[in-house]
Amino acid sequence: MIVNPCKQGKDARRVFNFNKVFATNVTQEQIYADTQPLIRSVLDGYNCCIFAYGQTGSGKTYTMSGPDLNTDETWGVNYRALRDLFHISRTRVDFIEYEVGVQMVEIYNEQVRDLLVIDGSNRRLDIRNNSQLNGLNVPDASLVPVKCTEDVLDLMKIGQRNRAVGATALNERSSRSHSILTVHVRGKELVSGSILKGCLHLVDLAGSERVDKSEAVGERLKEAQHINRSLSALGDVIAALAQKSTHIPYRNSKLTQVLQDSLGGHAKTLMFVHINPEVNAIGETISTLKFAERVASIDLGAARSNKETGEIRDLKEEISNLKLSLERKEAELEQLKNANTRGTVESQRTRAVSPLLIPKYGVSASLKPEISQRPVDDSRNFEVRSSSSGKQRRSRVPSKFLDKDIIPRMPFLAEERLVNSGKPRSPSPPVRRSISTDRGALMKSRVKPDPTDHTPISKLQLPPRSSVNKSMATMSVIPPVDNNGRGLLGSQEVPKPDNISEAFLSFQRSIAKKVHLENEDGQFKQVLNVRQGGIRKSKPESKVKAKNQLPTRIPKSDTSLTLLSELDTGGKMEEARKSDFSEPENESGLNVSPVNSTLSVKKLQRNSARNSQTVEIRELGQKVESFLSLKSEQKVSNGVLRQPKEGSNSAMPEIRRSRSTPRGKFMILP
């Protein structure tokens, strides 16, 4: 209870609640007695923090360090704590092996300085709040191992000599900085091998002061401002912690940064609050006690021991090793990605150059489907189909589509620019030009020809056109070439109908051989049935064989063939089929006159002319008409209808050619 003698009644009394109140007559040993459990906790692997707070001249340094180091009776908490620490560690020597190290820093004018230096250097130190450092918030500060109390005393003397102290009106030896003595303890349990890590922060804060009372000017005033500011930041942190705020403003001062783990972590924290018993200091006393009351309301939760069992340590080591391994793998993966990106771009260009790798209709087992099927000049679509991710897409995009942002950074294209400088470009169309330019560049980079030879890609000699007279299966691997023997690289052309017709005619011949009609009349009927969409009904075997030869195209082709045939002939073709053309199989055909047959063929001719196959259908009509005329003449002359065994072979190719027309046209549809 604080009694203000200047006031009367209730206003003169203020009551505060604390864990312990020490009167002016208590000894240093009595004060330390309540602190000792924390020291034991440090040896058990806990982090602890003891700091002294109060206005200037209130006795903080007296409590923490003591007035005289030469007399152990007046030793403060720091020495007593370390003395106890060594004493307790010695009692555990059979179970735990301890190592103790000491750091001592000060925060002066918002700068962290090492107090355990003997060369007088005032090096600024950085603060790193990392729980892995286990209290080493200032890792660059000197960490001096100590074995006994004498070692600690020697270090304390060094630290006190280095600490900034100045005389003010309130304290002739006023601490102008916050002093932090950190004791690091590491214990190893001899039986289990477990590791205990604890640290103890012993903090002697600089005292808050009213500048008008301390009469601080100049450097003292600046120090006082820094001190008050940092203590205000400490008050903000304490208030935020007390209110369980989501944001704790640790970073507002070096002091709160250094003490972050102790204030808001899993440490055991004790605060000595010093007040000045003088009546004229009652204002500062009441404000200090209010602050202390707030600090006392903070619930830090359960403290946590830093004890690592053998398993945990092994797991941590394993995690650490895995992290290192993962980092290495990621680095390797990154290198592979970079290499793959370069390789893919080059490979893409390589494929574009080779005529064997870009057939429009060919199928190569070594190629991916999207590559073999893509239209050569549709590189953008190809890219979309062949890429599953943006990265791949970017790496595989042909350069002509990305020349605005990627090409300038590619060295081999820069090389190309040098090669092509001063040379006119190929006169080919724009689309082909862009493609041929890339290919030409790549060819140069791969083959390394004579540097004076800058032949455009459009003039490259590609393999000559292969024969198409074998079968459709061989046709599928034919490199696409035009009539001049050049490859169809980058061209939007489609093969000319003549070539396809020839190729398809070869295929039809092959089909015809496999069907192997026994006689020419059978062949004749076969042709007619095909023309009228009846091949599936009359000769299902031939269709099956055809399917076996064309695994992908035939089914579609057959369907379309039927549709096209019906479209070509219409219902009138049915009449033609029932009339003269079924004559060899139907005895009633004897009644059909040549005139009717000719009329039927002419009707077929007219219907066909309405469609796109006019020329070939007309030719077919003419051939059949002449053939029927010949038959009519024979029939008239002999009076008996004979099957045309002789000479029919010579006419068959022509008829087959007409049969192949719709199928061939279907095949070249894109």
Binding site for ligand ATP (CB under 6 A): 54, 56-62, 67, 171, 173-175, 206-207, 274
Three-state helix/strand/coil letters over 374-429: CCCCCHHHHHHHHCCCHHHHHHHCCHHHHCCCCHHHCHHHHHHHHHHCCCCCCCCC
Query: What is the separation, in whole angstroms, between the first and last Cα of the chain?
Result: 99
Q: Smallest distance from the beta carbon of 318 to ligand ATP, in angstroms?
A: 49
Only one residue has tokens 């040896």, namely 43
Alpha-carbon gap, residue 499 to 174, rounded angstroms? 106
Contact 69, 153 (CB under 8 A): yes
Tokens of 502: 């020839």
Of 111 and 474, which has the nearer Cβ to ligand ATP? Answer: 111
Three-state helix/strand/coil letters over 431-483: HHHHHHHHHHHHHHHHHCCCCCCCCCHHHCCCCCCCCCCCCHHHHCCCCCECC
Contact 127, 139 (CB under 8 A): no
Alpha-carbon gap, residue 370 to 378, rounded angstroms? 11
Phi, psi of 95 (to 5 degrees): -115, -40
Contact 589, 641 (CB under 8 A): yes
Contact 607, 570 (CB under 8 A): yes
Of 47 and 61, which has the nearer Cβ to ligand ATP? Answer: 61
Q: Smallest distance from the beta carbon of 94 to ligand ATP, in angstroms?
A: 39
Of 67 and 449, which has the nearer Cβ to ligand ATP? Answer: 67
Of 277 and 310, which has the nearer Cβ to ligand ATP? Answer: 277
Q: Could you list the beta-strand ranges (E) of 75-160.
A: 96-108, 111-114, 144-146
Q: Smallest distance from the beta carbon of 51 to ligand ATP, in angstroms?
A: 12
Contact 181, 201 (CB under 8 A): yes
Of 185 and 206, which has the nearer Cβ to ligand ATP? Answer: 206
DSSP state of 106: E
Closest CA to 478 of 355, 369, 377, 375: 355
Alpha-carbon gap, residue 533 to 558, rounded angstroms? 9
Of 76 and 662, which has the nearer Cβ to ligand ATP? Answer: 76
Tokens of 533: 């969409």
Q: Smallest distance from the beta carbon of 33 to ligand ATP, in angstroms?
A: 15
Of 258 and 442, which has the nearer Cβ to ligand ATP? Answer: 258
Q: Smallest distance from the beta carbon of 45 to ligand ATP, in angstroms?
A: 31
Of 56 and 506, which has the nearer Cβ to ligand ATP? Answer: 56
Element (H, E) at 269: strand 268-274
DSSP state of 135: T
Contact 361, 480 (CB under 8 A): yes
Of 274 and 665, which has the nearer Cβ to ligand ATP? Answer: 274
Q: Smallest distance from the beta carbon of 15 to ligand ATP, in angstroms?
A: 23
Q: Smallest distance from the beta carbon of 56 to ligand ATP, in angstroms?
A: 4
Of 229 and 606, which has the nearer Cβ to ligand ATP? Answer: 229
Question: Is residue 404 packed enough to be buried (19+ CB in 10 Å), middle (13-18) or exposed (0-12)?
Answer: exposed
Q: Smallest distance from the beta carbon of 65 to ligand ATP, in angstroms?
A: 8
Of 156 and 240, which has the nearer Cβ to ligand ATP? Answer: 156
Q: Smallest distance from the beta carbon of 44 to ligand ATP, in angstroms?
A: 30
Q: Smallest distance from the beta carbon of 184 to ligand ATP, in angstroms?
A: 25
Angle 514-517-519 from CA coordinates, rounded to 5°: 150
Q: Smallest distance from the beta carbon of 208 to ligand ATP, in angstroms?
A: 8
Contact 44, 51 (CB under 8 A): no
Alpha-carbon gap, residue 618 to 611, rounded angstroms? 11
CA 37 from centre of chain: 52
Of 41 and 78, which has the nearer Cβ to ligand ATP? Answer: 78
Q: Smallest distance from the beta carbon of 277 to ligand ATP, in angstroms?
A: 10
Angle 640-646-648 from CA coordinates, rounded to 5°: 100
Q: Smallest distance from the beta carbon of 59 to ligand ATP, in angstroms?
A: 3
Of 169 and 431, which has the nearer Cβ to ligand ATP? Answer: 169
Q: Smallest distance from the beta carbon of 278 to ligand ATP, in angstroms?
A: 11
Alpha-carbon gap, residue 649 to 361, rounded angstroms? 33
Residue type, 273: V
Of 278 and 314, which has the nearer Cβ to ligand ATP? Answer: 278
- Residue count (the chain): 670
